Chains A and B, each alone.
Chain A
Amino acid sequence: MDSGRLHPLSADIRQIAAIFARMGFGIAYGPELEDEHHNFDALRMPADHPARDMQDTFWTKEETPRAPRTHTTSVTIRCLEEMAKSGQSEARMIAPAKVFRNEATDATHEAQFYQLDGFAVGPKGTVTLAHLKGTFDYFYRQYLGEDAKVRFRPSFFPFVEPGVEIDVWYEVPGKKGRWLETGGAGMLHPEVIRNAGLDPDKIAGFAFGGGIERLLMVKYGIPDVRAFHNGDIRFTYGFDPA
C-alpha cells in the first residue's frame, strides 16, 4: 500500500505552526462565515468607506447578510474580545485558515485561499514594531532558510497604525534572489483594541496577515494558484520528496 499524502498546504502550515509555537504563538479559530462587525466594522472598515474597496466581498442572501470572511483578522478581533472577557493582558496567536475574495480567478488569483493572520499583544510598550520585525526575521529564516531577510514598507490597513507591508528576500535554489511582497502588518490601532473591549492605554501589540499559497508557490515553483483547492490528486502527489 502506497502511503497517503498530506496536502501541501497542510504540510507547510505544520511547519509554520511549529515555528510560531517556538515564539509562543497559539493557534486560534473563528467562523469562516463572519458577521459584518467582526470582518469589517470592528476593524475600522465601516460601510461606505473606501477601505472596503481593498477587499472584494461575498455576501450571503440573508436578512442580516454575513460575509465569508475576507481575512482571518476577524479571528484576531475575536481573540481580543476573549481577552477582554477573561481579563488577560497578553496573548500571541496565529490563525492560518481559509478566506474568500470575490474576484475573477486566474493563475495568481483565487476566490478562496488561506491566510496567515496573527497578533501579539501585551501591556503597552512591551510589544513593539521592532518585535514585529524580529518575529518575521525569525519566522522567514526558519521557514525559507538562513538567507531570508525582511524589510518593511509603509502601507495602510485600517486596523493597524503604523501600517507596513512585509517583504521578504528569498533565494529560490538555483535562481536569483528577489524581494517578495508577503502581506500587511502593523501595530494594532487603539480603536480596534477598544472595539474589542480592551483599554488601549494599557494594551498594545502588533498584527499581521498575508496569503499562504503564494509563499508555497514561490518556495516549490507552483505556477497556478487554482491547483490548491480543486480536489485534484495530481497536486497532492505532485511534489518530489525532500
Chain B
Amino acid sequence: MRISKKWLQQYFDSALPDTEALSDALTFHVAEIEEATSDMLDVKALPDRAAYLMSHRGVALELGAALGMPLKSDPLRKELPVFPETDELSVSLDAEGKCNRYMGALVKGVKVGPSPAWLKEALESVGQRSINNVVDATNYVMLNIGQPLHAFDAKKLSVRDGKYAIAVRIATEGEAFTSLTGEEYALPEGTLVIVDGNNDAVLGVAGVKGGKEAQVDERTTDLVIEAANFDGTQVRRTAQKLKLFTDASSRFQNRPSPALAAYGMRDVLALITDIAGGTVAGVTDIYPNPEEPQTVSASLLEVNAVLGTSLSMDEVRAALTRLSFSFEEVEDRFIVLVPFERRDLSIPEDLIEEIGRTIGYDSIAGVQLPVSAGEPEQARYRGIERVKDFLIERGYAEVSTPSFAGEGEVLLANPLQEEKPYLRASLIENVKDALTRAAQLAPRVIGPEQFVRLFEVGNVFTAKGEHLVLSVGAVPLSGKPAKAAELLQQDVLALSQDLVGAPLTPRYSLDGQVMEFDLGALNLEKLGEDYAPKTVRLGAFRPYSQYPFALRDIAVWTPEGTTESEVANAIVKDAGAFLVRLDCFDRFEKEGRTSYAFRLVFESMERTLADTDLDPAMQRVTDGLNARDGWEVR
C-alpha cells in the first residue's frame, strides 16, 4: 500500500526523517518496502499484518515503535462516541453470518462538491483520484485507519413506512449487477450483496464494490453511509470469481476487526459533516456477536527459548512499551491485552515475534547448532550422485529438462502452455530432443567427438505414481548410427555389472539411442553408503550466443617436428575476434612433413556471421600459415 510521508507526519510532533530512513526502519522492524520516493513509501503488508498495516495509522504506529517516536494521538485509542440511533434506517443481515457487522448511518442535507485542497492532495499523493467530497471522505478514512466505507444516495433508495432499509443477502445465481464504474456483472452463486431492503434492488457487492443503483452524485443531499465487516473468505472468493480486486476486498480478505467499523464510522461522519455539511440523523448498528478482548502471553523463559537470546525483564518490557501494548506482569510472564485491530496475536510465539523484531533481529547473535550424534542421512542422495559420477567418467553430460510434456498420463487443469498440458511420464523424449540439439551444437561445445552422450535424472509421473528415473542417450557425430546404440548398451551393461551389481530393466527408444530405467527401484542407500560424491567447482559462466556458429576447416603441411600448439597459435593470431573454438581433428606424417587439420568455430554474440566475415578471416589465416618457412596450406 502507498503511504504518504506528509500524511504520516500528522501523527508525530517531531519531524520524521527522510523516506530512506523510514524505509530502513520499516524494513528491519515490520515489512518490506516495494518502492520509496522522497515523499511516498509503498509498504508490502503480508497477510498476517494486513488487517492493521494497510493504513497510515498502522504504518505510523510501527514507525513510532521502530524509531522510538511516540504518536501524538492514536485514532484507534480515542474513545468512541455514543452514536445517536434512528428509526429512519433499518438494517437486516443474511442468516448465514457472512456479515459480521453492519453499521448504517443516515446523514441529511449534505452538499456534494469538490473536496478541499488538502484532501485532494492527500489522495493524489498515494495515487488515488479525487471524485467528490463525500466519496473522497470515505476513501480518506479507509486509507487512514483501514476500514472500508461506502456512501449511498439515500434519495435513490425506496422508503416504506417512513424507513430506509438496507439488507445483506446472498445473490441468486446470475443476478445482474452494474458497478459504480459501469461494468455489468452476472453474479455467481453465493455472492453476498447489499440490497435496498424495501425493493430488493442490488446496491453493491459486499466488501468488494458499490453499484450504480444508489451512486452519490452532485445532486445528492442525503446519504446512507456503510461501515461494515464481511467474512474474509466470502469477500476473497467473490473478488476472485469476479476478477474484481479493490481496496475494500484486499482489506476484508485479511479479516480486519469488526470493532474497526465503529472507528471508521466515527471518523467518516466527522469528516463528511465537516467538508460537505449535513447532520447525522442516526446510526443503526447490527453486530450480532461482538468480539471479546483477548490476551496473549509469554514468559521471559519462553521468549529466550525461541529467540535464543538472554534478554532481561527490562529489555522485554521496553520492547512491549515501544509497541504501545497494554500489559501486565505476573512473575516472569508478560500478559498483553491484544489491541483489537491486531489479528496476528494469539499464541506466545506471535508475541515473541513482536519482541524479537522490535529489539531488532540484528541484535540476535548467531549460534552454531550443537554437534549432532551420528552420521547425517545422505546415503540415498550419495547413491544417486554415484550413478551420475559413473556416467560422467564415461563421457556423459548431465542435462535438466522440463517436467511439462505434450503427452503423458497426469493432466494439469491449468498448464502454463496449452501444448504441454501433462506432467512427463518418461524422460526419453526429452533426452532425445536434447541429444538432437546437442548434436547440432557439438562442434561448438564439445569439439570433434565421435558421440554426444547425455543423461538426466528426474521424476516422471504415470497413472501408477511417481518414479525417479535415469535416462541415458548417445547419438553419433560421425560413423554409423548403430554404433551409438551399441555404445549405449555397453555402458548400460557396465552400469548394471560394475556399479549396481544387479540386472536393470531398461526401456529403449525405437532407434536404441536413448534408454531409461527406474532409478528409484535400486537400493540407492546401499549404493551411497560409503560414497563421497566428487566435488565439482565451477568458474564463471560464459554466456553463449543466440546466433548460429559457423565452421571452417583448414589443413596445413608443416616441417617435421612442428607441434600442434605452434599451428594452433599461428591460426589464432590471424583468425580474428569471431574465432571461439579451435580443434585439431587430424594429424599424420608423410615424407618428412607433418599435416595438421583444424576445425575453426566462429561465432558472434550480436549477429549471424556471413561469408563476408569468414572468407577474409580464412584468407588471413591461410596467408599467415603459407608465409612460414616450409608451411603449406593443403
Contact = CB atoms under 8 A, between A and B. Distances in A.
B413 A59 contact: yes
B250 to A, nearest CB: 9
A71 interface: no
Contact of A130 (B309, B399, B544): B309
A145 interface: no
A7 B400 contact: yes
A128 B305 contact: yes
Contact of A31 (B48, B368, B437, B466): B466
The winner among B47, B309, B447, B466 for most chain A CB atoms within 10 A is: B47
A61 B463 CA distance: 12
B261 to A, nearest CB: 20
A233 B446 contact: yes
A232 B434 contact: yes
A1 B309 contact: no
B570 interface: no
A127 B366 CA distance: 12
A239 B47 contact: no
B401 A190 contact: no
The winner among A28, A104, A163, A230 for most chain B CB atoms within 10 A is: A230
A129 B306 contact: yes
Given A9-B400, A65-B413, A229-B401, A125 B237 contact: no
B115 interface: no
B535 A14 contact: yes
A135 B367 CA distance: 7
Contacts of A59: 412-414
B236 interface: yes
A3 B397 CA distance: 8
Contacts of A6: 388, 392, 398, 534, 536
A33 B466 contact: yes
Interface residues of A, number: 101
A232 B437 contact: yes
Interface string A14-32: 1101101101111111011
Contacts of B365: 130, 133
A4 B538 contact: no
A4 B233 CA distance: 54
A98 interface: yes
B533 interface: yes
Interface of B is mostly: mixed
B611 interface: no
Contact of A242 (B46, B49, B449, B538): B538
Interface string B456-470: 101101000010000
A26 B377 contact: yes
B543 interface: yes
Contact of A50 (B253, B378, B400): B253
A112 B452 CA distance: 26
A24 B372 CA distance: 6
B31 interface: yes
A161 B46 CA distance: 14
Contacts of A229: 400-402
Interface in A166-195: 187, 189-190
Contacts of A17: 378, 381, 533
Given A10-B385, A60-B411, A238 B544 contact: yes
Interface in B461-510: 461, 466
Nearest to B460: A32
Contacts of A230: 401-402
B29 A154 contact: yes
The winner among A62, A126, A162 for most chain B CB atoms within 10 A is: A162
A60 B50 contact: no
A24 B452 CA distance: 39
Given A27-B380, A60-B412, A7 B403 contact: no
Interface in B401-454: 401-404, 410-416, 423, 430-431, 433-434, 437-438, 441, 444-447, 449, 452-454
Interface string A203-222: 01000000000000000111
Contacts of B370: 126
B414 A231 contact: no
Contacts of A10: 385, 388, 398, 536
B394 A4 contact: yes
A48 B542 CA distance: 45
B591 to A, nearest CB: 31
Nearest to A103: B416
A53 B347 CA distance: 24
Contacts of A32: 403, 459, 461, 466
A242 B307 CA distance: 40
A187 B307 CA distance: 9
Contacts of A18: 535
B537 A242 contact: yes
A154 B466 contact: no
A133 B366 contact: yes
Interface string A119-160: 010001111111101111110000000000011111110100
25 contacts: A10-B388, A15-B535, A33-B423, A50-B47, A58-B414, A59-B412, A68-B403, A68-B423, A92-B376, A128-B307, A130-B365, A134-B367, A135-B369, A153-B361, A154-B28, A161-B350, A161-B353, A162-B307, A187-B306, A222-B541, A232-B441, A233-B437, A233-B446, A242-B537, A242-B538
Interface of B: 27-32, 46-50, 232-233, 236-237, 253-254, 305-309, 347, 349-350, 352-353, 356-357, 361-362, 364-372, 376-378, 380-381, 385, 388, 391-404, 410-416, 423, 430-431, 433-434, 437-438, 441, 444-447, 449, 452-454, 456, 458-459, 461, 466, 533-544
Interface of A: 1-12, 14-15, 17-18, 20-21, 23-29, 31-33, 48-51, 53-54, 58-62, 65, 68, 90, 92-93, 98, 100, 102, 104-105, 111-112, 120, 124-131, 133-138, 150-156, 158, 161-165, 187, 189-190, 204, 220-223, 228-234, 236-242
The 6 closest A-B pairs by CB, nearest first: A130-B308, A128-B308, A24-B372, A240-B539, A26-B377, A162-B353
Given A4-B394, A130-B309, A161-B350, 11 more contacts: A4-B393, A5-B392, A5-B397, A14-B534, A23-B369, A32-B403, A111-B416, A138-B368, A204-B305, A234-B444, A240-B540
